Structure 1
């Protein structure tokens, strides 16, 4: 996610005791970075199954100590793309409370169904209070390079640079040259990338629904499917992933690692577990051959575990 070290960004925008608002579920690294800077994470739950933002819940999360908001859109792990109305709610609160926003936009070019990414910084009053982060990792499939960037108002850019040089110094020069070439890619490259991922999204949604998973929200961005376990599975998310690895050799991520709050919901799982223990994150940023092989293994595991076929689709 934040290839530009997030600890640097939180250190430049918060002081010990400051509160940072972020959304739940969320990428697990954010909380650690906030705490490293002496800040206090304050989670605002997104409402399943479509992971919508409740404006009142968000606004009520602000206190006199709130210093910043972290926003990741398109969103890991759900594939949600925050709507313009939701972004306006976030921007309005930041402007009224004089808070910074740190946006993680690494999936900005990976959106589906004709949905366009909107940067929070493009909204009125937000350019001067937003730190934008992105990287080469997702758009150009070079996660190991760890090359990213931050775009910020001059004061924060200077502070970020001063801390960054003491922590990581700089990225290797050849990678920086490659980054310049990549960033000059024609629009056709990004459209081709989007179409390829959209096709893979549709493939994995059909696959996972076909083995009984409940697909109530079709990802609109990024390359993850956050799917709910079949109703007749008595296993938790962690238990299922362990079986998936041992018996099928397929790796996914238990959803509980992305949740940080204890919530009540009108619809708890019929097997008696919190919904936060019922989600699995599947990544589809793989070759078609790898996805096909995984499909076969998942089907075999499903048969062995006695799962009904035919999931509930979005």
Structure 2
């Protein structure tokens, strides 16, 4: 058989989704690895989906998204950027945020171009760069607060970066970047003439006094920011695979061509039903924030009972847990974080993601948990995690 392309040997399958498969092989284990909610989308969306099942549309929509969903996206996101978003030239609907990110990188980067990625990072970003032929340049986020050093970031820009990927709120760290941090990134992007590709899928899941600010709203950033987003997390519909890009018309024109030949278009009936979600009022987003605030408290209480160190997330539904103390226990001698997560599924009955899948450098002492589960499931997971207190 002929050899495969070199690119497929440069990265692994998704470790996040691998942990779900391992978890599913162990009856009764609680999946806190792959972050999908275990409840339905809003009732109004479900009602509309039932209608669409009989009424349609069931054939191709416009490749870059049906007119009504692009108009709903434009109406929702215009206030956040402080100007009108043109649904006819500045939006492309994609098959999930994953495709949105891939299309964005392929649109603005040529093979060999440098793309800055903060580390730790959502695992897709490295693969996106490799698949597009670009070169990922990693800038560390320093734990436990997961902040970046402006000097390190400038050196990465000065080396000739074509773009930077910014996840805000951040998966996996749970950080919400402040206006000053965003301003630093924006200033460097303008100075070194680079694009900013943002992943903003957790925009409505922020806690306490933290505020999500979209990069495109900052002075001078409208013409160089490509926002990648999706409906998955906000409306609890990760399986619908509906995402979108918002950006300058010239960029979106290119991204639409890439998207056309990647997937042709997102599912037409799901687009139609999702319009109802995008038209939700502010009370829905307040409810969502309150729900996840409570769930964060339940999981964090379980981590406290286990005497584990963790970063209390400012946004998203993820918690990074430091397992350095546990790995010092002789019973875990020689274990990697992947080994530990596999052990935890079998012995504790809770699935986590090994943190090494998010870091560019060899980091072995973090795992990621999520709290997009029912309250009683999180409480039970907390009781099981408390059993880790005896180790280390």
- The TM-score normalised by the length of structure 1 is 0.89
The Cα shift of 1:232 comes to 4.5
Partner of 1:119 in structure 2? 214
Partner of 1:210 in structure 2? 305
Quick one: which of 359, 367, 370 aligns to 1:259? 359
Partner of 1:229 in structure 2? 323
Distance (Å, rounded) in 2 between the aligned partners of 1:129 and 1:179: 28
SS in 2 for 1:3: helix
Kindly indicate whether residue 148 of structure 2 is the aligned counterpart of residue 53 of structure 1.
yes
Distance (Å, rounded) in 2 between the aligned partners of 1:174 and 1:115: 35
Partner of 1:135 in structure 2? 230
Distance (Å, rounded) in 1 between the aligned partners of 2:173 and 2:213: 17
Partner of 1:272 in structure 2? none
SS in 2 for 1:128: coil
Distance (Å, rounded) in 2 between the aligned partners of 1:218 and 1:16: 38
Partner of 2:79 in structure 1? none
Structure 2 portions without partners, runs of 5+: 1-95
Partner of 1:270 in structure 2? none
The Cα shift of 1:237 comes to 2.1
Distance (Å, rounded) in 1 between the aligned partners of 2:262 and 2:232: 20
Paired residues of 1:213 and 1:230 also in contact (CA < 8 A): no
Kindly indicate whether residue 387 of structure 2 is the aligned counterpart of residue 284 of structure 1.
no
Compare CA radii of gyration and give the structure with the larger one.
2
SS in 1 for 2:367: strand
Distance (Å, rounded) in 2 between the aligned partners of 1:5 and 1:232: 38
SS in 1 for 2:350: coil
- The TM-score normalised by the length of structure 2 is 0.72
The Cα shift of 1:65 comes to 2.9
How many pairs were matched up?
A: 291
Quick one: which of 328, 335, 338 aligns to 1:238? 338
Q: Which has the bigger relative contact order, CA under 8 A and spacing at least 6?
A: 2
1:43-71, Cα deviation, whole Å (9 max, x unpaired): 00011110012111111112353100100
The Cα shift of 1:13 comes to 0.4
SS in 2 for 1:127: coil
Paired residues of 2:302 and 2:381 also in contact (CA < 8 A): no
1:8-49, Cα deviation, whole Å (9 max, x unpaired): 111100011110011000001111111111110000001111
Paired residues of 1:226 and 1:282 also in contact (CA < 8 A): yes
SS in 2 for 1:140: coil
Quick one: which of 145, 163, 176 aligns to 1:68? 163
Distance (Å, rounded) in 2 between the aligned partners of 1:249 and 1:297: 7
Paired residues of 1:17 and 1:65 also in contact (CA < 8 A): no
1:160-198, Cα deviation, whole Å (9 max, x unpaired): 111111111111111101221100001000011001101
Change in Cα spacing, 1:64 to 1:242, as seen in structure 2 (3 Å) is closer
Partner of 1:307 in structure 2? 391
Kindly indicate whether residue 379 of structure 2 is the aligned counterpart of residue 295 of structure 1.
no
SS in 2 for 1:4: helix
Distance (Å, rounded) in 1 between the aligned partners of 2:169 and 2:107: 24
1:85-111, Cα deviation, whole Å (9 max, x unpaired): 110110000001111110000000000
The Cα shift of 1:6 comes to 2.2
SS in 1 for 2:98: coil
SS in 2 for 1:138: coil
Q: Runs (4+) of structure 1 moved beyond 4 Å?
A: none
The Cα shift of 1:297 comes to 2.3
Distance (Å, rounded) in 1 between the aligned partners of 2:265 and 2:337: 39
Partner of 1:267 in structure 2? none
Distance (Å, rounded) in 2 between the aligned partners of 1:61 and 1:285: 35
SS in 1 for 2:245: strand
Kindly indicate whether residue 314 of structure 2 is the aligned counterpart of residue 220 of structure 1.
yes
Structure 1 portions without partners, runs of 5+: 263-275, 309-314
Taking only aligned residues, the RMSD between alpha carbons, in angstroms, comes to: 1.5
